[in-house]
Structure 1
Amino acid sequence: MKIAFLYNHDAIHQIPHTIPVASSLAQRGIDVHVLTSSAEQRETAASLIAPGAQITFHDLTLRWPDRAADRLLRPIAPYKRIAILREHARLLDTFDAIVVPETTTTLLRTRFGVTHPKLIYIPHGAGDGAAGFRNTTRNFDLVLLSGEKVRDRMLSGGLITPDNHAIIGYPKFDISLGRPAERFFDNDLPTVVYNPHFNPHISSWYPSGRAVLDWFARQDRLNLIFAPHTMLFKRALHITPIHKRIGWRGSLPKYLRHHPRIHIDTGSRRSVDMSYTRATDIYLGDVSSQIYEWIARPRPAIFFNTGGEDRAASPDFGHWSLGDVIRSVAELPAVLDRALADPDAFRPQQEARRDLTFSMTATPAGERGAEAILAFMERSARSPG
């Protein structure tokens, strides 16, 4: 049995969500291959492979016309990801299963004629946003989920069936939980992590982000770690054709990079391995699924609603029940004061939502994922039709 773990993205944030499953399969003697579309992805994946796991690596590259087209189309379409699938469809069709943390890979089946491998999906995150509940999920043969919350929403939307999914927990926790928290400042002030999204339709960065940073720079009671979604600083221009929104990311002034109480990380390994969510006291964001990694250990959370409408009634914003919701930077001082004075105000809601979101057992999620894949492949071999 030959199983591929495909990482085909502009950034590295998806890798920790599936690599523990790859390690567990390899440790069981399965022929595991990791396919990456950048040197950064290969280096990150290799660094997270468990000791003793023998894995074959493949570098997926593009010919020069596709590289040129990607530079032109990158702000509005995931051209490189699609081109990688097209150019390497023949190789990908040689595997018995392909495990991915995203949904673009279903184009192998729907557009590029790849029919042999089973397609297996482990979502990169356990958030509430609409992006995690796309109709293309129906094209996967097996979907492995973190817990009841995501499962129930996918079942109610007809995205999975009772027979083609399993709950395995959250593989990223195998890597990130249990490590000692790092220290990023030489003082003992409470620390806030600001984690805005990159999508201009839902992100607080474009209307308010610079004002947030300036406010923290002027005060002296709190530290700030600015660690946005890793895609925000991958592009200067972000476009969402569906919502007809354009966001210009802008640049960061130099004085912020040398501020003694501000730490900036626009996309390093630490920005995706829970280093900042484990080392801080208050979460400030908008819609990132990192809020669920945050409530693995309940603490205060604050959300920006910069959309100009009441989004809280939508399941896409269900996490806003886990903290205070504000509409402007002017509200920030008062809500931070409340968080510091009563850090457990939302603990009951966070604990309940955490337990629905993550299935935690004595068996690591990576091992549970490997067991679910092997059981599925065995069933498929018995009934290939």
Structure 2
Amino acid sequence: MVNPAASENVFAGGSILSIKIGFLFNHDSIHQISHTAPIISEIARMGGHVTVIASSRTQIEHLTKIMGDVADVEFVHIDIGRVAKAVDVLARQIIPFRRIASLRENLKLFSSFDALVVPETTSALLKSHFGLKQLKLIYLPHGAGDRSVGFRDVTRHFDLVLLPGTKTRDRMLERDLIRPDSHAVVGYPKFDLIDLTDRKRFFDNDRPTVLYNPHFDPRLSSWWDMGLPVLEWFARQDRYNLIFAPHIMLFRRRFHTSVEHRKLRHRISIPEKYRHLPHILIDEGSSHSVDMSYTRSADIYLGDVSSQVYEWIHQPRSCIFLNAHAAQWQDNPNYAHWELGQVIDRIADLPAALEKACTLDEVFRTRQTKAFELTFSLQPDRSSAQRAAEAIISFLSSGSVPRDLETV
């Protein structure tokens, strides 16, 4: 099914058309796309033919926008039947029903590929429940955070796991989630798309700008118990600007459920009074919330458990973390990022924390620099997408990855 000589052909500039590779984007939103899209262009450049499979027209539009014109890439839009759509009208407010239905109702298409590259773990159902045992599943996590949800047993269903750096690799190896010959450290392809030095201006003044970036997890997020008090505090003061840009999924559902933490909560809406203040920008899910526009441009990060904090520290800056769920976070790998800034338990402590955050503590600067290096294995002479493409082709051709990508 796969040509054993394909890897040699790739690096010699020859043909790899015998390998059928699909890139699957099966989500309600666009935030996962940038993590694997750059790899598509690299495989095409190497001579491969890629099929992009997306479960919504919005995802296809975003893909073509960020990729531009790429030869030898086919786009396929998958859909679900009328019965599944009817069920999804109610179910989607609580569970990712459509994503699962999209997998189940398109098995014939998926079985036609040698491999599928995915940025999420729901696709593991293709092997674990839907019988596609021969399909090679290749997983690149969409983010590089510390939450326990990123280190679950489901990872074992993937044939190849592409990782951003040694931090994630070592933690997965420790839990036996990956094998030495079934993973590669490739860096962070999302960075390939972005000019990290570009800093947009969102306010017409010189005040320090705070980015409030709560997660959507109903147990771990600060939004439910601290979010509105945060907005109220910023609304009443005149020293700081505020960008409120939560995880893009927070306002996509009315209810959020966490199977892992056994929690279900109704999402709180934003009062209209906060939407028209000149020093507050509210973004419930535009492309700016996923393309690092805000993490590149703000001065102080205010959040909880989002992996975006690791994108934030590409340029060391002050962080404040809201402990709204009484977490015992010290020496806990699920909260390793809380070592990179101040942690507060009450809104009453926010003014003092912000005052301190106006100057980055050197201890935190050192920690952030080290954390960035452990989280993202970046190389000046080779892009992350190129490394990922080489790992994929080598694995599909010979069953192993280049040795340097295992040990980086």
Q: Same fold (TM over 0.5)?
A: yes
2:387 maps to a residue whose letter is R
Provide the residue aligned with 1:374 in structure 2: 393
1:378 maps to a residue whose letter is S
Query: Which of residues 315, 323, 335 in structure 2 aligns to 1:297?
Result: 315
Residues 89 and 185 of structure 1, relative CA distance in 2, 3 Å threshold: same
Q: Note the C-alpha offset of 1:179.
A: 5.7
Provide the residue aligned with 1:331 in structure 2: 349
Q: Does 1:351 align with 2:351?
A: no
Residues 61 and 179 of structure 1, relative CA distance in 2, 3 Å threshold: farther
Q: Does 1:365 align with 2:376?
A: no
1:116-147 deviations in whole A, cap 9, x for unaligned? Answer: 32110000001100111110101111111001
Q: Does 1:91 align with 2:85?
A: no
Deviates more, 1:146-155 or 1:336-345: 336-345
Q: If the length of structure 2 is used for normalisation, what is the TM-score?
A: 0.91
Structure 2 Cα separation of the partners of residues 246 and 192 of structure 1? 29
Provide the residue aligned with 1:198 in structure 2: 216
Q: Does 1:168 align with 2:168?
A: no
Structure 2: 5+ residue runs without aligned partners? 1-18, 401-408
Query: Which of residues 37, 49, 58 in structure 2 aligns to 1:31?
Result: 49
Paired-residue identity, %: 51
Q: Note the C-alpha offset of 1:192.
A: 0.5
1:252 maps to a residue whose letter is I
Q: SS of the residue aligned with 1:69?
A: helix
Provide the residue aligned with 1:100 in structure 2: 118
1:142 maps to a residue whose letter is L
Structure 1 Cα separation of the partners of residues 294 and 323 of structure 2? 22
Correspondence list, 1:242-253, <5 A: 242-253=260-271
Correspondence list, 1:1-385, <5 A: 1-178=19-196, 180-342=198-360, 344-362=362-380, 363-380=382-399
Structure 1 Cα separation of the partners of residues 23 and 323 of structure 2? 36
1:172 maps to a residue whose letter is K
Structure 1 Cα separation of the partners of residues 156 and 267 of structure 2? 34
Q: Note the C-alpha offset of 1:157.
A: 0.3
Alpha carbons 2:197, 2:296 under 8 Å: kept: no
Residues 331 and 220 of structure 1, relative CA distance in 2, 3 Å threshold: same
Superposition RMSD in Å: 1.4
Alpha carbons 1:181, 1:278 under 8 Å: kept: yes
1:253 maps to a residue whose letter is P
Alpha carbons 1:27, 1:54 under 8 Å: kept: no
Structure 1: 5+ residue runs without aligned partners? none
1:88-113 deviations in whole A, cap 9, x for unaligned? Answer: 01100101110000111011011111
Residues 185 and 326 of structure 1, relative CA distance in 2, 3 Å threshold: same
Structure 1 Cα separation of the partners of residues 182 and 43 of structure 2? 20
1:59-117 deviations in whole A, cap 9, x for unaligned? Answer: 11111111121222223322111110000011001011100001110110111111332
Alpha carbons 2:43, 2:50 under 8 Å: kept: yes
Alpha carbons 2:196, 2:296 under 8 Å: kept: no
Q: Note the C-alpha offset of 1:51.
A: 4.3
